[in-house]
Amino acid sequence: MAKNKVVLVIDDVESLLQFIRGSLAGYPVDIVTAVDGRSGLTLAQELRPDVVLLDLALPVMTGWEVLEAMKDDPATADVPIVVVTAHGDSTAAARARDLGAAGFMPKPFRPTELRRIISRYLAEDDAIAV
């Protein structure tokens, strides 16, 4: 039996964490959450998740700082990071790409958009129907 993929969600808004859990319910992923940047970075280093959904406006350590730290660390440099933020302007998207983010998804978003993003990081045999 194949092991589930791990999705690390770093966001301090509980309603969004619940929305993501609900949107991915029944899919072959384990969702791990962190509500501040520092604990999210620690979890990323410990777990080496298959994908990280990263908010920018976080307590303790900003999403920008988490992104830079993950890309500077050889242990997490290859982990795909999708920036998920309410600050979804083109400047933020360009900066995220420049810092090594694999994707950028402005809030609010639909469950189908989330599943489409997540499915990019699953093996073909685990693909999520969107």
In angstroms, what CA-CA distances link 47 with 42, 50, 113?
A: 9, 9, 25
pLDDT in tens, 8-47: 999 999 999 999 999 999 888 999 999 999 999 999 999 9
- What's residue 127's pLDDT? 46
- What's residue 130's pLDDT? 45
Q: Output the six-digit token pair for 120.
A: 């990019």
> What are the structural domains, with CATH classification, of the chain?
5-87+96-121 (3.40.50.2300)
What residues contact 89, with CB distance under 8 A and at least 6 apart? Answer: none
**Per-position DSSP letters for 80-99, written without gaps between them:** -EEEEES---HHHHHHHHHT
Mean predicted confidence (pLDDT) in 109-120: 91
Q: Is the pTM of this model over 0.85?
A: yes
3-state secondary structure of 30: strand
